[in-house]
Amino acid sequence: MDIAVIGSGMAGLATARILKDAGHNITIFEALPGRGMDSHSIEFEGGLIDAPLRVMNPHLWKNTLSLAAYLNIPTFPVRTFMACSWLFEDKTETWLTTTRTRIGNFPIINNRKGVQQYGWRLVKGMLQLKTAIHKFFKSNNQEISLAEFMNHNQIEEVFWHGAVMPVLYTICTCDPKTIGEWPAKPLLIFLRQLTDGDALLRLQGGTPALVDKLIEGIDIRSGVAIQKIEEQADHVLVENAHAEQFKFDRVVVATPTHKIEEFLNQQQFKDDLELLKQFKFEQGELVIHTDSIVMPPKRKDWAVLSYMMDRQFTRQQFTVWLNSVEPSLVGKTPVFQTWRPVIAIDPKKVIASVTLTRAVVDSKTLALNKELQERHKSANRKVFYCGSWSCDGLPILESAVTSAMHIAEIFGAPLPFVGLKPKVEVAPELGY
């Protein structure tokens, strides 16, 4: 069949690749001038800045890493240790730094103050969390939110809000209230597997390398937005902002739902639009810069992940030190990505500021997803929807790939990458 894919984020690109390899003729439409998936990646002093930076746990990004292996993209391991600092006081105080053991890759506290002042509280919190997670998965009530889980289990505050929640901000890029409304189950699975000791993996060449492979041999039309999609007899009409019209047997829409109403025929897709508009999204600012104010005051305390917060845990930010996980930036000026900064970053040191959109996941969206999948099963359906928002679980690359796999199943397309192990090569020298 001739199939149009609207949007070149991860969901759209994965769908296009799977259906192309199954023998269909694929055309990708992208409103941005380039490719949506790596549209924020930029060059810095001859190195690569991925925005946002992507490193993957092999348990949680299983399908994404298998797809990369299928595309012959190698990975390399990175060790993500962290530093936590108190903000908004006379001076910024780094109260915890961690590293990871070379054998087993387990996190350990490596600063004296962290051990003396907070060590017992962190150990206590870890034991409480492990016990609470074990009880949760043994229970019959696994449909609760993360906030309900927190209320049921009085886990040590410094450990939970100072160490656990910052990690969830890193993955979910949401505010505390939103994360509290998330279904607890996928987040607890994430936390449980995060302690297994497996190194996180990064794709060689970063996101651009993945995008290059995904679109290989596929017609992609960028730089012009779609303004109309409507069914006409035995085909689907797609029209762009230049009034160019195309006819397809099927269309897969892989954009955030709040954009879909801009081009879907309002009458033909009335019921779909009513469902899709119930999905919610949040936006936040990711600042790429060279201002070390976001790092611990002492250079020896710098870590891949720098979390800063006030003592009431009401204001927080996290920063990734890119040189420590991206080989092409080793030896270059220290460069950072800070999510939703709460301290002032020197405007002269800002390289770029990116607005990221993330799906909000709660009990309602789980029900909406089930309804959407049921609608996709209709024998006469010609237009389908996918995206990280259309899957249970974390709204990250893995959800996007999983949503593409759902579309593939509808089309009867094989999934030859499932179960492939990532190709892990020797880690390059990184800027630790």
pLDDT at 432: 47
DSSP string, 254-288: -S-HHHHTTTB-TTTTHHHHHHHTT--EEEEEEEE
Q: Which value, in Å, is the radius of gyration of the alpha carbons in the chain?
A: 22
Q: Where are the beta strands (DSSP E) in 316-378?
A: 316-321, 336-339, 350-359
Question: Cα(138)–Cα(421) distance, rounded to whole angstroms?
Answer: 30
User: Which of 4, 7, 3, 5 is closest to 31 using CA atoms?
Assistant: 7
Collapse the DSSP code of 131 into the 3-class scheme (helix H, G, I; strand E, B; otherwise coil) and give the result.
helix
- Entry pTM: 0.89
- What distances in angstroms separate CA 375 from CA 14, 351, 380, 404, 409, one per listed residue? 21, 44, 10, 16, 14
Are 267 and 282 spatial neighbours (Cβ–Cβ below 8 Å)?
A: no
Query: What does each of the 432 residues of the chain score in pLDDT, given as a tens digit?
Result: 999 999 999 999 999 999 999 999 999 999 988 888 888 889 999 999 998 888 888 888 889 999 999 999 999 988 778 888 888 878 888 888 876 555 444 455 655 666 667 777 877 888 888 899 999 999 988 888 888 998 899 888 888 887 788 778 766 666 677 788 888 887 888 777 665 555 688 999 999 999 999 999 999 999 999 999 999 989 999 999 999 999 999 999 999 888 898 999 999 999 999 999 998 888 888 999 999 999 999 998 898 889 998 888 888 888 999 999 899 999 999 999 998 899 999 999 999 999 888 878 877 888 898 899 999 998 889 999 999 887 766 657 888 999 999 999 999 999 999 999 998 887 666 654
Please measure the distance between the N-terminal and C-terminal CA atoms of the chain and give it in whole angstroms: 50
What contacts 25, CB < 8 A, 6 or more positions away? 1, 2, 3
Question: Cα(24)–Cα(186) distance, rounded to whole angstroms?
Answer: 34
pLDDT at 63: 93
pLDDT at 51: 87
- What distances in angstroms separate CA 223 from CA 8, 236, 256, 284, 314, one per listed residue? 12, 21, 17, 24, 41
Q: Which amino acid is at 229?
A: I
Question: Cα(58)–Cα(40) distance, rounded to whole angstroms?
Answer: 24
For residue 300, count CB atoms less than 10 angstroms from its CB and return exposed for 0-12, middle for 13-18, buried for 19 or more. Answer: exposed
CB atoms within 10 A of CB 294: 23
pLDDT at 407: 96
User: Which of 221, 238, 220 is closest to 229 using CA atoms?
Assistant: 238
Are 324 and 23 spatial neighbours (Cβ–Cβ below 8 Å)?
A: no
Question: Cα(283)–Cα(259) distance, rounded to whole angstroms?
Answer: 14
What sections of 31-156 are H helices per DSSP? 62-70, 112-113, 119-138, 146-152
Tokens coding 373: 């999948």
Tokens coding 240: 């762009």
Tokens coding 401: 């790939």
Q: Could you tell me the domains of the chain?
A: 2-35+215-279+362-411 (3.50.50.60), 62-203+281-359 (3.90.660)
